[in-house]
Amino acid sequence: MSKVSIRRFARSTEGGLTGICVVFFVGLVIASGGDLLEPNSLRVLLQFLAVPVLIGLAQMVVLAVGQLNLAVGAIGGFAAVAMGVLMVDHGVPVPLALLIGFGLATLAGLANGLLVVLTRINGFIVTLATMTVLIGVQYRLVGTRTVDDYPQALKSFGAYAVFGVLPVIFGVALLVAVVLAIVLRRTVPGRQLLASGGNPIAARLSGISNDRSVILAHTISGAILGVAAVLTVASSPGVNKSIGGDWLLPSFAAPIIGGALLTGGSAVILGTVLAAFIVRFVDTARAEFSLEPSWVNFVVGAVVLGSVVLGQVRTRRQARTQVVKTPDVAVTGGVA
């Protein structure tokens, strides 16, 4: 990597987030007296990062087309509970149950996209409605019980770590991030999706279907949540009606802190992953210093609000700079 590239990265949002992650990690290592460097501590830290990374990516891809997905937790929780019920109550083999749950989450995302396009209702309202419906379905499936009697092999997979440090489920989350980056930046549908989010009018004039991009974004979001549901079932002692209930704030926090624009057109995959680390570090610090759990929501909410404000200021400054740099065009006429 050249010095110019290093300097450019250092000045980018991702570079700043990397620095914050390093400072946070070093501070936590010092505060814990070095215990955080123990293999088991690192394994737990990374294991509980897998799902936050995925739900952040699921929200980010919808933000990329200028939409919001309030049903992130409902889709993931519904899919996770469906997997558990299929395995325990109906004796469905593990691979088939996981595949069905993944398919249900993907279909839920597809349904969100179709409803937004067909009804022309704001995605905020549509996903709020589907969230309410899916929470009801989730409760109908599992009631007040916890489903935990599924095969031990699945739980072993969720707890397995390479060299006792790197959890497999965290590796799966990173693999999803890499695949999403390739889809959004190296494929035609992915580039069209970002173009639709960045400037819908210009995209439409270029022959790009904004409706197709919205449907694709919600479908990809549902598929990512399906993977998150699989990892949740594998790494949790059981699933119940509360699964997914606390996913909404982290799903917005990671991409927004990572630099995603609420107006769409941005794919901040590395930034989303780094921001998920920061949110996890905040939670770890809360546990280390025995603070109230509500402090995590307070800090994360404040950081999200600050990120949105800074993003707006940056956008306006860039727009003002472009106006200043644009030369005046004089229209003159004459008679030959």
* Model pTM above 0.85: yes
pLDDT averaged over every residue in the chain: 88
pLDDT under 70: residue ranges of the chain: 1-2, 4, 10, 311-312, 314-315, 317-319, 321-336
- The span from the first CA to the last CA of the chain, in angstroms, equals 58
Reduced to 3 DSSP states, what percent helix, strand and coil does the chain have, rounded to the nearest 5? 75, 0, 25
How far from 2 is each of 5, 6, 7, 286, CA to CA, in Å? 5, 6, 9, 39
> 219-237: per-residue pLDDT in tens?
999 999 999 999 999 999 9
> 181-206: per-residue pLDDT in tens?
999 999 999 999 999 999 999 999 99
CATH number of 43-309: 1.10.3470
* CA–CA distance, 165 with 161 (Å, rounded to integer): 6
> Cβ distance 167 to 45 under 8 Å?
no
> Cβ distance 128 to 134 under 8 Å?
no
Q: What is the DSSP string of 287-304?
A: HHTT--THHHHHHHHHHH
> 32-68: per-residue pLDDT in tens?
888 888 999 999 999 999 999 999 999 999 999 999 9
**3-state SS assignment for residue 239:** strand
* CA–CA distance, 39 with 52 (Å, rounded to integer): 21
